């Protein structure tokens, strides 16, 4: 800690400070004097419990990484004062990330939420906040049950990644009137959601913009939606380890932008794509079924083991 204090006192114009894998309980109050600091990482500090409000004096800070901080209980109350913050990766013991926690950070472009064991909900009370957020990653939050309909206000969101959230089904976002959320997603990755049985209707709000769709390790996913062929910009579709999925949506051949199709760990689906449903995917230049690459014309023309 004495070395850190010395560095802070000597290097007033410091712009990058990497304290990953460190082992101190508190940052020194003098951290707030680094007025030019733009990048701060505390990743994998297993001891630190809280960030003092002095960190909120870092008005030039653009990137803050506190993932892997197992004992971090909360973010500082004055975090809204970090007015330049663009990239935030957090681990917290909060049960809900609300407007008071991160919703006040209107400058955010990237928000990563990792390994938050207590987290049950996101974005409660965040109407029309985080409107510049472009990428949202939520991973390994085993208690998370809801993203909340307030995600509809993330109008700039381009990439949504949801990974290993055992209690999350995504269906709670449908709303009472089964409304379609007006999002403009370009990339969607859904991974290891055992409660997911069907893709939610709200994804139709990205019909004209979604380009990449990855679905993996959703063992209870039973069917792809009938509206999937309306994703006119979709060029990459990858499906892995969804054993209950047995067929592609009717009209999949209407995905005229599709360039790359991959299916692995879905034996019934792969078999049908090789046989009776081959016409649905024949237009895709790159096809990989269970580790084998295919080139399809009107019929299955050639195969080569990848």
205 close to 234: Cβ distance less than 8 angstroms: no
Please answer whether residues 106 and 86 qualify as being in contact, where contact means their C-beta atoms are separated by less than 8 angstroms.
no
pLDDT value of position 179: 58
**Is the dihedral angle over the CA atoms 225, 229, 233, 234 positive or is it negative?**
positive
Is 48 exposed, middle or buried, given 0-12, 13-18 or 19+ CB atoms closer than 10 A?
Answer: buried
Yes or no: say if 70 and 45 are a contact pair by the CB < 8 Å rule: no
Contacts of 89-92 spanning 24+ positions with Cβ under 8 A: 89/43, 89/64, 89/65, 89/113, 89/114, 90/66, 90/114, 90/116, 91/66, 91/67, 91/115, 91/116, 92/116, 92/119
DSSP 207-221: TTT--EEEEES-TT-
**pLDDT at residue 149, as a whole number:** 66
Q: Is residue 4 part of a domain?
A: no
On whether residue 252 sits in a domain, the answer given is: yes
Partners of 64 in the β-ladder: 40, 88
Say if residue 229 is exposed, middle or buried (CB neighbours under 10 Å; 0-12, 13-18, 19+): buried
Residue 158: inside a domain: no
Domain count, the chain: 1
End-to-end CA distance of the chain: 52
Residue 38 in domain? no
Instruction: Note whether residue 23 is domain-resident.
Output: no
Q: Which of 15, 9, 63 has the alpha carbon at shortest distance from 35?
A: 15
Give pTM, 2 decimals. Answer: 0.90
Burial category of 285 from C-beta neighbours within 10 Å (exposed 0-12, middle 13-18, buried 19 and up): exposed
Asked if residue 92 belongs to a domain, the reply is no
Domain around 220 = 211-306
Answer yes or no: is 15 within a domain: no
Contact between 138 and 161 (Cβ < 8 Å): yes
How do the pLDDT tens digits run along the chain, 306 residues long?
678 888 899 999 999 999 999 999 999 999 999 999 999 999 999 999 989 899 999 999 999 999 999 999 888 888 889 999 999 999 888 888 876 667 568 899 999 999 999 999 887 766 677 889 999 999 999 999 888 767 777 889 999 999 999 999 887 555 544 556 678 999 999 999 999 999 988 888 899 999 999 999 999 999 999 999 999 999 999 999 999 999 999 999 999 999 999 999 999 999 999 999 999 999 999 999 999 988 665 444 444 444
In a domain, 235, yes or no: yes
Residue whose C-alpha is closest to residue 261's, from 287, 227, 298: 287
Check if the beta carbon of residue 52 is closer than 8 Å to that of residue 24: no
């Amino acid at each position: 800690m004495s070395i850190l204090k010395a560095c802070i006192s000597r290097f007033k114009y410091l712009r990058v400070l990497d304290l990953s894998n460190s082992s101190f309980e508190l940052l020194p109050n003098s951290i707030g004097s680094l007025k030019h600091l733009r990048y701060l990482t505390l990743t994998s500090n297993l001891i630190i419990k809280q960030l003092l409000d002095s960190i909120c004096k870092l008005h030039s800070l653009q990137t803050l990484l506190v993932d892997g901080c197992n004992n971090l209980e909360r973010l500082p109350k004055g975090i809204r004062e970090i007015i330049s913050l663009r990239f935030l990766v957090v681990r917290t013991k909060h049960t809900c990330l609300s407007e008071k926690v991160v919703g006040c950070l209107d400058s955010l472009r990237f928000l990563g939420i990792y390994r938050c064991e207590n987290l049950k909900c996101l974005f409660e009370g965040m109407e029309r906040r985080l409107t510049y957020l472009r990428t949202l990653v939520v991973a390994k939050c085993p208690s998370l049950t809801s993203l909340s309909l307030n995600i509809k206000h993330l109008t700039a969101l381009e990439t949504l990644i949801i990974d290993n959230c055992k209690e999350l089904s995504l269906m709670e976002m449908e709303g009472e009137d089964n409304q379609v959320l007006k999002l403009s997603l370009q990339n969607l990755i859904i991974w290891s959601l055992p409660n997911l049985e069907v893709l939610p209707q709200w994804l139709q709000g990205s019909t004209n913009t979604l380009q990449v769709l990855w679905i993996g390790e959703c063992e209870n996913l039973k069917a792809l939606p009938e509206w999937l062929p309306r994703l006119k910009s979709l060029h990459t579709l990858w499906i892995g380890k969804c054993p209950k999925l047995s067929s592609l949506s009717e009209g999949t051949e209407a995905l005229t932008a599709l360039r790359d199709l991959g299916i692995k760990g879905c034996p019934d689906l792969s078999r049908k794509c090789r046989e009776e449903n081959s016409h649905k995917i024949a237009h895709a230049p790159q096809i990989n079924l269970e580790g084998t690459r295919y080139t399809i014309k009107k019929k299955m023309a050639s195969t080569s083991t990848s």
